Amino acid sequence: MKYISLLFLVLFPLSFLFAKESKNNAKELLYGFAGKMNFDKGWKLESTGWKYDEDKIQRINIGFRVASVPDLETARSDILDLSQAFLSYMNSNEKNAQYFLKFPLSLEDLNLNIAYVDSDGLFRKDGNICFVILNNSKLDFSKKGEKKLDSIHQESYADAIKCVKCKETRKWLKSPTPDDTQKARESSLKIFSDE
């Protein structure tokens, strides 16, 4: 019994060292990604966090602060870009697998958010979207209410992808100009007159 107690006294502090090392590695990963987003887009790191299970990261959280006035399409595009960039960053290095309970990471392992702020760094109060969050494969868009954030739109990640792809497809489709309409009319009249 004396040896078991001694073993426990030696191993118990070591378990805290491994947990601390794992948390430090998680911080380094998140700060590395935040630096990339700051360099690429000018986004500032707002918050980080993680949930542990068995001394490995089970769920990871990261949030950014962006000084802009987005509409729904822009906020949707931003959060989708963030999720894809984050998953790519984390999953591209096999060495990261040692820190996570489940690897490669998927949307279910993430909680991502973007706060849209004014020049003072506060949530926008102008009725525009000021916060978007991706959690459990669902997006929630909010605006600043009197005392709290009010959700104004929710959608699934899959629906958000469809909206963005549909918009991208529409970019390639050209609306007919009056000249195009006139040419089509003349062409069809010529076809019928030849018969």
Q: What is the edge-to-edge ordering of all strands in the sheet holding 138-144?
A: 44-53, 56-66, 110-116, 129-135, 138-144, 149-156
Q: Would you say the pTM of this structure is higher than 0.75?
A: no
pLDDT tens-place string over residues 32-59: 999 999 999 999 999 888 888 778 888 8
Distance of CA 133 to the CA centre of its chain: 7
Residues 141/156, Cβ–Cβ less than 8 Å: no
pLDDT tens by residue, 64-80: 999 988 899 999 999 99
Q: What average pLDDT does the structure give for the chain? A: 80
pLDDT in tens, 111-169: 999 999 988 888 888 778 999 999 989 999 999 888 888 999 999 999 999 888 876 65
